[in-house]
């Protein structure tokens, strides 16, 4: 489903690959016969992931269950109060990713998630600009997830630069490359800057291939030739694991001080 060109609901398979700097240019060259830059091109993506105080959602996610879910607030540039922002719920079941989202001004979206203000109350008070999109069914699903976990709070900021491509013959086939992925667990407001701790090695990219069905044979052949293999990778999950390592280290330091 799309509103003003924005897809607010879809299901697809997302395959992830960590591409080292040494293979990136060769990969782009080989892919150039099959993909082209999409209409978004280069973007900087800002996310706030919401979780319980004991990180229940991400702990479950990294245990690799059949079903898992996340909720986040996303913008495609450093936001001001009126910048369009997405509240997204992302669910994965048996390898298929389902994403549902609505778009609101950043400050309104953050108020809803931080303080659990009802959607309709926000719309009646604040949403004079009808270019922002809400959907009653998606609102219900978001509220249901918030009610289910009850104590959701801002847990981690994830920020990165993305280059996006689409299939030349099949525009629904998409490849994205994310670089300079950073996380932080302080200043949990993405309007405060694009800084944090790096997740990837220097020059490394996280490639995501987004497909509705089978992998195109030509793309599979290219990956095989370059020995680029699928990886189970979560940005939020990787940030959480780094957070655990940092806390473990800090506890060790305090023990001997």
**Is residue 229 within 8 Å of residue 15, measured between CB atoms?**
no
Pairwise CA distance, residues 97 & 67, whole Å: 10
Q: What is the pLDDT of residue 1?
A: 46
Low-confidence ranges of the chain (pLDDT < 70): 1-7, 119-134, 253-257
Q: What is the pLDDT of residue 5?
A: 38
Q: Which residue has the tokens 């879910």?
A: 69
Say which residues have a Cβ less than 8 Å from residue 19's Cβ, sequence separation at least 6. Answer: 27, 177, 204, 205, 206, 207, 228
pTM for the complete prediction? 0.91
Domain 2-255 = CATH 3.20.100.30: yes
Pick from 135, 149, 148, 142: which is nearest to 117 by CA?
A: 142
Helices 21-31 and 217-225 pack at an angle, to 10 degrees, of 150
DSSP state of 230: B
Q: Which residue has the tokens 């996610």?
A: 61
Transcribe 181-221 into DSSP letters: EEEESSS--GGG-S--EE-SPTT-EEEEEEESSSPPHHHHH
Say which residues have a Cβ less than 8 Å from residue 92's Cβ, sequence separation at least 6. Answer: 67, 68, 69, 98
Tell me how far apart the 2 most distant CA atoms of the chain are, in Å. 62
């Amino acid at each position: 489903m799309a509103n003003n060109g924005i897809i607010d609901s879809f299901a697809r398979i997302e395959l992830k690959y960590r591409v080292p700097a040494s293979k990136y240019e060769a990969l782009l060259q080989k892919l150039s016969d099959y993909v082209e830059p999409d209409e978004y091109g280069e973007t900087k993506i800002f996310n706030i992931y919401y979780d319980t105080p004991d990180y229940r959602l991400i702990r479950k996610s990294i245990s690799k269950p059949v079903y898992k879910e996340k909720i986040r607030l996303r913008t495609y540039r450093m936001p001001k109060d009126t910048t369009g922002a997405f509240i997204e719920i992302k669910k994965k079941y048996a390898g298929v990713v389902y994403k549902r989202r609505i778009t609101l001004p950043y400050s309104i979206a953050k108020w809803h998630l931080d303080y659990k203000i009802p959607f309709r109350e926000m719309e009646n008070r604040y949403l004079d600009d009808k270019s922002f999109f809400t959907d009653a069914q998606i609102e219900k699903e978001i509220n249901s997830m918030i009610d289910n976990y009850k104590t959701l709070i801002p847990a981690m900021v994830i920020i990165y630069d993305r280059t996006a491509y689409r299939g030349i013959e099949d525009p629904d086939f998409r490849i994205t490359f994310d670089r300079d992925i950073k996380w932080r667990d302080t200043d949990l407001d993405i309007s405060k800057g694009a800084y944090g701790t790096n997740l990837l090695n220097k020059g490394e990219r996280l490639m995501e291939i987004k497909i509705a069905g089978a992998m195109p044979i030509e793309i599979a052949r290219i990956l095989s030739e370059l020995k680029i293999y699928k990886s189970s990778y979560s940005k939020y999950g990787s940030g959480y694991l780094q957070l655990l390592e940092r806390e473990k280290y800090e506890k060790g330091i305090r023990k001997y001080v």
